């Protein structure tokens, strides 16, 4: 047990890091239950800010806009991304290379710079500051995540299942629907969840592309935080964070390990 | 001779249909990518290199690089992004190592969940929580003033420090997740072997752990640096007058809609500079790997190093994708 000092220090380091990561989130949860209008102490318990939130139409409308946008963009990103992955799995390198290059560019160019590009192109196409532009930009920026997850799964897929189905007389459509789709379904769901989270949070894109007079939640909070914090935003944040916790727990329960989604490299699974 | 065996005939027909099918699968995604990934990036190049009148020129770049204020801002932005990246990796790596090596298998999903929650929480909510934490009279400041360390109404809001702390806070989950993958990939028996062969702790770290982790450090560096260099919400909200970054200027000019070409030129310079720094850092890490692992490049079989290179780039691609 002479060597046990370093592990202990590192474990304490890990716990301290977890606490630091949790602090802003816990702070909002505590302040949402605190009486003070300006988020100051001493702490007096109240649920008033949740009641205030229920009447804050601007904030709730922004939340609705964000949920709506994320849902629409996710549906399209999942369909297009899955088709693209299936197509790329059967294509030659001269086709997959440029597609992969573009996907990688979408991931590595800072969102602000990408947003500048979108603004220019949408104004060329006559889509400037329209909901369609916002949805298109959201689809494109979440597409790489769907493709990477589904492609990873397709690469690991055992071809023998499809071959067995073929040799037993199933047609291409039947093989696809009864063999391929069920086998890649978990990755489609995972990609969809990731796409949803990413479009919901994609602040830079939304700030520059949202139509005038329409705010998504991040844009709305951005304009509010500059005027100072208010506890009803804390209340909303607490609800969102609790939903995130539920999401992670459900993912854990579904896949055994939610973290795999976020840490997987292409080794094995 | 005329009767081809039935399965063969069917297969060739299937392949022909397959080609049409593949085109059908690729079309929607391909069109989207060409219109809204390739075109915007080309548009940035075109706009950056044209004058307001519409002719080709380097005027925008000359104007930016000729103005000391902008060059200083660019330098500060790159410096902040570099410090934030290095700090977040330095803080995240030991935690990731503890998670990969010294945590019970049952506790891992829980701890990873705790890392993922801030990772997928909206950046604006994190900023909001951070502001509520550090504002005058907030939890941290009232604690510090209760101990008597600061004045009751003091705060680090609107300082470069607040901006940097916020950016580090946002980057730590990425660092833990990436370096966790890196730590998991190191086979424990390799460490065991080097220890039983008499290597000291420092030697094990520099000659075994570092060379085996440096590729993922490179991935982590690229991810965090590129994200941080384009930050504009954090410095706008937290940075105060002396904590601004180039992203502020770019976003302000884009939003105002005047002199768009200049903002685009600044974005291009920023992109190019950050790619150069990421490239240099990756190269330095690769050099340190070969220098420290004691295997010189020349003595390693060429095919093997080529394969390793390919595997590395594939890994980087996947990791980049999965980790935002």
User: Residue A257: is its pLDDT beyond 70?
Assistant: no
- Tell me the per-residue pLDDT of A68-98, one tens digit each, with 9 for 90 and over: 999 999 999 999 999 999 988 888 888 888 9
* Angle B41-A215-A147 from CA coordinates, rounded to 5°: 45
The interface predicted TM-score (ipTM) is 0.87
User: Do the Cβ atoms of A83 and B28 come within 8 Å?
Assistant: yes
- Name the DSSP class of B155: -
Nearest to B221 by CA among B122, B93, B77: B93
Nearest to A134 by CA among A199, A182, A56: A199
Q: Is A60 on the interface with B (CB under 8 A)?
A: no
User: Do the Cβ atoms of B222 and A145 come within 8 Å?
Assistant: no
Nearest to A80 by CA among A150, A158, A152, A17: A150
Q: Is A181 on the interface with B (CB under 8 A)?
A: no
User: Do the Cβ atoms of B250 and A112 come within 8 Å?
Assistant: yes
CA dist B193 to A23, A136, B187, Å? Answer: 40, 53, 10
**Cβ-based contacts of B104 with chain A (< 8 Å):** none
Please state the pTM of the whole predicted model: 0.85
Portion 57-86 of B in contact with A at CB < 8 A = none
Average pLDDT, chain A: 85
Taking residues B176-200, report their average pLDDT. 87
Portion 68-97 of A in contact with B at CB < 8 A = 79-81, 83-84, 86-88, 90-91, 95
Q: Is A54 on the interface with B (CB under 8 A)?
A: no
Percent helix / strand / coil, chain A, rounded to 5: 80, 0, 20
Tokens of B1: 């001779």
pLDDT above 70 as % of chain B: 83
User: Do the Cβ atoms of A140 and B33 come within 8 Å?
Assistant: yes
Neighbours of A95 (CB within 10 A): 16
Exposed, middle or buried by CB within 10 Å (0-12, 13-18, 19+), for A141? buried
Q: Is B125 on the interface with A (CB under 8 A)?
A: yes
**Chain A: residue nearest B228 by CA?**
A110
Backbone angles phi, psi at A130, to 5 degrees: -120, 160
Return d(Cα B112, Cα B321) in angstroms, integer. 18
- Tell me the per-residue pLDDT of B264-292, one tens digit each, with 9 for 90 and over: 999 999 999 999 999 999 999 999 888 88
Distance, in angstroms, between B302 CA and closest chain A CA? 23
Type and span of the H or E element at A208: helix A203-209
pLDDT confidence of residue B310 = 57
pLDDT confidence of residue A17 = 95
Lowest mean pLDDT among A221-225, A245-249, B144-148, B303-307: B303-307
Q: Is A140 on the interface with B (CB under 8 A)?
A: yes
User: Residue B12: is its pLDDT beyond 50?
Assistant: no
Q: Is B279 on the interface with A (CB under 8 A)?
A: no
CA dist B305 to A262, B187, B312, Å? Answer: 28, 20, 10
Tokens 């060739």 -> residue: B12
């Amino acid at each position: 047990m002479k060597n046990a000092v370093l592990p202990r220090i590192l474990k304490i380091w890990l716990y301290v890091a977890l606490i630091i990561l949790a602090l802003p989130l816990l702070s909002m949860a505590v302040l949402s239950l605190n009486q003070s209008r300006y988020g100051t102490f001493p702490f007096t318990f109240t649920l008033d800010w949740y009641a205030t939130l229920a009447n804050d139409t601007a904030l709730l409308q922004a939340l609705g806009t964000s949920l709506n946008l994320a849902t629409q963009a996710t549906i399209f990103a999942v369909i297009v991304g899955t088709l693209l992955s299936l197509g790329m799995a059967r294509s030659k390198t001269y086709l997959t290379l440029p597609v992969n290059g573009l996907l990688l560019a979408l991931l590595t160019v800072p969102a602000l710079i990408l947003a500048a590009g979108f603004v220019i192109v949408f104004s060329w196409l006559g889509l400037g500051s329209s909901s369609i532009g916002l949805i298109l930009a959201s689809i494109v920026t979440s597409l790489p995540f769907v493709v990477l997850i589904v492609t990873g799964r397709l690469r690991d897929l055992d071809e023998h299942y499809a071959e067995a189905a073929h040799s037993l007389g199933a047609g291409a459509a039947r093989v696809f629907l009864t063999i391929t789709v069920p086998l890649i379904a978990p990755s489609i769901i995972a990609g969809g969840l990731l796409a949803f989270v990413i479009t919901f949070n994609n602040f830079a894109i939304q700030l520059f592309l949202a139509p005038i007079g329409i705010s998504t939640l991040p844009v709305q909070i951005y304009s509010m935080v500059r005027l100072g914090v208010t506890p009803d935003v804390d209340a909303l944040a607490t609800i969102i964070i609790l939903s995130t916790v539920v999401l992670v727990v459900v993912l854990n329960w579904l896949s055994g390990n939610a973290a795999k989604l976020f840490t997987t490299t292409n080794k094995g699974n | 001779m005329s009767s081809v065996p039935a399965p063969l005939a069917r297969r060739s027909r299937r392949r022909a249909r397959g080609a049409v099918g593949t085109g059908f699968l690729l079309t929607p995604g391909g069109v989207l990518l060409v219109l809204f990934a390739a075109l915007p990036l080309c548009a940035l190049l075109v706009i950056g290199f044209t004058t307001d009148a519409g002719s080709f020129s380097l005027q925008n770049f000359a104007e930016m690089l000729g103005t000391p204020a902008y060059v200083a801002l660019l330098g500060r932005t790159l410096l902040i992004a570099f410090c934030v990246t290095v700090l977040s990796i330095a803080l995240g790596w030991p935690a990731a190592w503890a998670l990969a090596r010294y945590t019970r298998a049952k506790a891992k999903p829980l701890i990873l969940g705790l890392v993922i929650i801030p990772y997928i929480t909206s950046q604006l909510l994190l900023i909001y929580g951070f502001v509520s934490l550090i504002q005058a009279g907030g939890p941290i400041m009232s604690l510090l003033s209760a101990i008597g360390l600061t004045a009751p109404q003091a705060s680090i809001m609107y300082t470069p420090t607040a901006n940097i702390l916020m950016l580090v806070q946002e980057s730590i989950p990425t660092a833990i997740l990436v370096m966790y993958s890196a730590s998991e990939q190191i086979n424990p028996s390799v460490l065991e072997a080097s220890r039983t062969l008499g290597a000291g702790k420092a030697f094990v770290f520099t000659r075994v752990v570092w060379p085996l982790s440096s590729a993922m450090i490179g991935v982590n560096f690229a991810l965090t640096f590129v994200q941080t260099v384009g930050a504009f919400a954090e410095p706008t909200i937290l940075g105060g007058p002396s904590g601004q970054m180039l992203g502020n200027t770019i976003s302000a000019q884009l939003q105002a809609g005047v002199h768009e070409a200049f903002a685009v030129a600044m974005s291009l310079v920023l992109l190019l500079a950050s790619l150069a720094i990421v490239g240099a850092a990756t190269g330095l890490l690769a050099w340190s790997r070969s220098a420290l692992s004691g295997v010189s490049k020349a003595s390693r079989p060429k095919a093997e190093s080529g394969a390793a290179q390919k595997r590395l780039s594939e890994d980087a691609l996947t990791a980049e994708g999965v980790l935002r």
